[in-house]
Structure 1
Amino acid sequence: MRIKCLIIEDEPIAREVLRDYIGKLDDFKIAGEFENALEALSFMKQNRVDLIFLDINMPQLSGIEFLRSLSHPPKTIITTAHRKYALEGFDLQVLDYLLKPYSFERFFQAIEKYYETLAYPVTLHNIDSPISSTAYLYLKDNRKTYKVYLSDISLIESKGEYVQVRSGKKVVMTRSSLTAIEQLLPNDQFIRTHNSFIVSIDHISAFTASTIEVGETEIPISRKYKNMVMKSLKDAK
């Protein structure tokens, strides 16, 4: 499900910048654009909104007044040319405060703060697409959220309360269980070989009755998973 955003901004150029930046994010969809907060209030009564990009200085109702009027406001990122409103904005628990003009890099830092608020550290996207093209995971590692294509993942290993995902030369450590990630992955492309390991079938370089090699790493096949592993490898030939 894509993240529904609302742009509340009275400056056409500022709306255009946000439209361009949001358009670069696969997971985000602009649900509506409004020049004033009163129009946005009416829209929000009928539609779900996940994230608001909100200007402060607007006619009729300011961004601060708008936020205060909401009993359960969505996550909000303030966009304004006035630094003086920063403290008041953070008092209202906004995610971030973008001072115009801002770069895409600075914009994406604010987006990362949104990802940090999500309930799950791992989310799967574009699973209906072939694995070789666009299916990917978002993996949260400390303060960063990484986009990792399933086709690049070679090995996933349990590390206590964390899971280590190997993707090319990159290794991402995310707080999750191996079972939770296994449920997200297509079972014709990934196999569980052990309580601690999931491997990508496409990245297997060799195997025996008791081990699988992924690159130079040897992975054990436990008795619990042996029959299922051998069947998956046979079907993949």
Structure 2
Amino acid sequence: MKIKTLIVDDEPHAVEIIQKYISDFSQVELIGTCNNAVHAFQLLQDQSVDLIFLDIKMPGLLGTDLVRSLKSPPKVIFTTAYQDYALDGFDLNAVDYLLKPIPFDRFLKAMDKVFDLFKLQQQKVDVPVLVNEQKVEDYLYLRIDRKRVKINVNDIYWMESLKDYIKITLKDRVLISKQKIGVLEELLPEDKFIRIHRSFMVSMDKIESYHSYAIEILGKELPIGRNYKAECKKRLAIGV
């Protein structure tokens, strides 16, 4: 199955670059390009699209507002020259956020995420099994690759939501299970974990540093979403 893809950007040169990059992937089918978000909205009413490369700052309607207007938006990779919109991109559960000019190696990383997501969707994964439906303190079982895998709660560094899946980062490995991050948020001990974003939940004792917009664990910065900033400030004493 090919990934039906749309490019939305008001800069012809940016469209040309993304088209060129896409042409290297036989799994991707470019169904069209739009030079504004309103045109893209109209096209999305009539055509099925799996992935959008979406500029943010465009005349008439911002790319972020386009995503908010869609009931079931496709997967989105934001492409923009403005880093200031990064938090909006993460809040909208974008697959990735690429800053222009986009180098090919960075584009490859974004596509790697896309392919992982589509592989997960195509897999027939059984319903995940938790230890029970009450708070867990020491460990839980998640169904991963058709096996029940025991995960020590103290080994978890952070969890990232991938739509209907969750990616769990441990010190020495990464696990992916078909599970909602909200379910684990209810099960895991509140004194050990904190939700910092609609897509991220982290272990409190694994935080290496933080500021008002991000938390760092294992050298990786994870964004703090607007709706979670007050709770993070309260629990981590983050300054304004």
CA distances 1:37-91 after superposition (whole Å, capped 9, x unpaired): 1111111111100000000110111101111101111000000000000011110
- Residue 117 of structure 1 deviates from its aligned partner by 1.4
Provide the C-alpha distance between the structure 1 equivalents of 2:85 and 2:121, rounded to a whole number of angstroms: 31
Q: Does 1:4 align with 2:7?
A: no
Structure 2 equivalent of residue 23 of structure 1: 23
Task: Give the drift of 1:122.
Answer: 7.8
Number of residue-to-residue matches in the alignment: 129
Counterpart of 2:108 in structure 1 is 108
SS at match of 1:118: helix
How far apart in 1 are the matches of 2:104 and 2:25?
Answer: 11
Question: Could you give the per-residue CA deviations for residues 209-236 of structure 1, whole angstroms, max 9, x where no partner exists?
Answer: xxxxxxxxxxxxxxxxxxxxxxxxxxxx
- Give 1:71's aligned residue: 71
SS of alignment partner, residue 7 of structure 2: strand
CA 1:46–1:88: 2 relative to 1, 3 Å: same
How big is the shift at 1:102? Answer: 1.6
Alignment of 1:87-126 (within 5 A): 87-120=87-120
TM-score normalised by length of structure 2: 0.50
Matches within 5 A, 1:181-200: none
State the distance in 2 between where 1:54 and 1:122 align: 24
TM-score (norm. length: structure 1): 0.51
Residue 120 (structure 1) shift:
3.8
Distance change in 2, residues 1:94/1:121 (3 Å): closer
Alignment correspondent of 1:42: 42
TM-aligned CA distance change 1:36 to 1:160, over 3 Å: closer
Between the aligned residues of both structures, percent identity stands at 44
Report the counterpart of residue 57 of structure 1 in structure 2. 57
Unaligned runs of 5+ in 1: 124-158, 162-173, 176-237
Change (3 A) 1:69 1:160: closer
Corresponding residue SS for 1:15: helix
| SS at structure 2 position matched to 1:59 | coil
CA distance in 2, matches of 1:121, 1:47: 20
SS in 2 for 1:88: helix
**What's the offset of the Cα at 1:116?**
1.9
Aligned counterparts of 1:16 and 1:114: Cα–Cα separation in 2: 20
Change in Cα spacing, 1:2 to 1:45, as seen in structure 2 (3 Å) is: same
Would the alpha carbon gap of residues 121 and 8 (structure 1) be closer, same or farther in structure 2, given more than 3 Å must change? closer
Map Cα deviations across residues 177-214 of structure 1 (whole Å, 9 max, x no partner). Answer: xxxxxxxxxxxxxxxxxxxxxxxxxxxxxxxxxxxxxx
**What is the CA–CA distance in structure 1 between the aligned matches of 2:63 and 2:44, rounded to whole Å?**
15
Q: Which amino acid aligns with 2:94?
A: V
Residue 26 of structure 1: SS of its match in structure 2?
coil
Shift of residue 118 of structure 1? 2.0
